[in-house]
Amino acid sequence: MLKMSALYPGSFDPITNGHVDIIERGLKVFDRVIVAVLKNPKKHPLFTTKERVKMVQDIFASRPAVEVRAFDGLLVDFARTQGTRVVIRGLRAISDFEYEFQMALMNRSLEPEIETFFMMPSVHYSFLSSNLVREVAALGGSVDGLVPPAVSRRLRSKVRGPHKVQIS
């Protein structure tokens, strides 16, 4: 294992088993994984930043090698404040490649010292996205097996709650 930390950025709206899979793979390589939750108000997240951070913290409560922080602004600037030079990204079947390629090269031109490290999830999660999970939950479907149980409970209470889930 490398004595080095890595940043894993995303919206995590909400965290899915695909994200959990990537974090666990990251922990096999890096001694610390900092999950960086993007505040992105433009995307109108279903869960608040605080809720998204808390869900990741709860899932990894027994794993001190996982830290969770919220951030906004440029990823490379945030990486610098955390003293990390590696960014982890997950690659799903086909769909992620072009966007991830663009982002990695843009981040490299902004900060040549930062390397992007791509990891593939288990085949079971290769077609899983937070957006799909939000859609299924909004329509009353079960997301068991796609997200950790605590996330599934929170999704159900959002659907039932006073503010209906918005599909984006």
Annotated catalytic residue, options 32, 52, 89, 130: 130
Residues 107-137: b if buried by 16+ CB within 10 A, e if exposed: beeebeebebeebebeeebbebbbeebbeeb
Q: Nearest CA to 36 among 80, 86, 75, 1?
A: 75
Long-range contacts of 138-143 (CB under 8 A, 24+ apart): 138/164, 138/165, 138/166, 138/167
**Where in 143-162 is the site for ligand ATP (CB under 6 A)?**
none
- Please report whether residue 12 would count as binding ligand ATP according to CB under 6 A: yes
Q: Among residue numbers 125 through 144, which ones bind ligand ATP (CB under 6 A)? A: 125, 128-131
Which of 5, 7, 13, 114 contacts ligand ATP by CB under 6 A?
13
Verify binding: residue 18, ligand ATP, rule CB under 6 A.
yes
Binding mask 93-132 for ligand ATP (x = CB under 6 A): ---x------------------------x---x--xxxx-
| Active-site residue set | 19, 43, 92, 130
